[in-house]
Amino acid sequence: MPQILVRQLEQDFEAAIVEAEEEVLEEERTFAEQIYSHIQDNSPFLTGYYKANHRILIEAADGSHPFGLTPEVNPADPPPGAPTPGMFKFVIQGVIEEELEKLDLIKLGDIVIMVNAIEYADEVERNYGVYAGARALAG
């Protein structure tokens, strides 16, 4: 087989691999975004503090947490004053956008982890099953 043809086949094969990897990553990002949206949409809302503290972590294939993301997630600072219904409403959309931007950083082999950073998240989960519903969606 002529060497030019072999080189062309190799280039075509490499291009197909790159395209397939990009498609897989895009599907993973879309799926993670759907799961995160499900979590946000099904979160109970009183002050909005719980909703404003859903976080996306990315764990690389080697177990590290790139991009400064660690499992030690700090909750958002509450606005000054006593808790009132809806007080976090103004920060929720910004938090959602910031967290979803992290999905652009994933690479093949990375694991996307979603958690809530507040101390009473386990209690909310027991009562509302927000993450259980997301796990069921994920299959």
* Interatomic CA distance for residues 1 and 107, integer angstroms: 36
Binned at pLDDT 50, 70 and 90, residue 130 comes out as confident
| Mean pLDDT value across the chain | 83
The four Cα atoms 76, 82, 83, 85 give a dihedral, to 10 degrees, of -130
Q: Which residues pair with 55 in a beta bridge?
A: 115
Total count of domains within the chain: 1
Question: Domain limits at 58?
Answer: 3-138
pLDDT digits (tens, 9 = 90+) for 68-105: 555 456 666 665 666 677 777 777 888 889 889 989 98
Percent of the chain whose predicted confidence (pLDDT) is above 90: 24
With beta carbons less than 8 A apart as the criterion, state whether 34 and 42 touch.
Answer: no
How high is the pLDDT of residue 92?
84
Mean predicted confidence (pLDDT) in 46-73: 76
Q: Is the pLDDT of residue 16 over 60?
A: yes
**CA torsion, ordered 79, 93, 126, 75, to nearest 10 deg:** -40
Choose the weakest-confidence range: 2-11, 38-47, 61-70: 61-70
CA dihedral 62, 138, 41, 26 (to 10 degrees): 60
Strands 111-116 and 54-59: antiparallel
Separation CA 29–CA 36 (nearest Å)? 10
Q: pTM for the full model?
A: 0.79
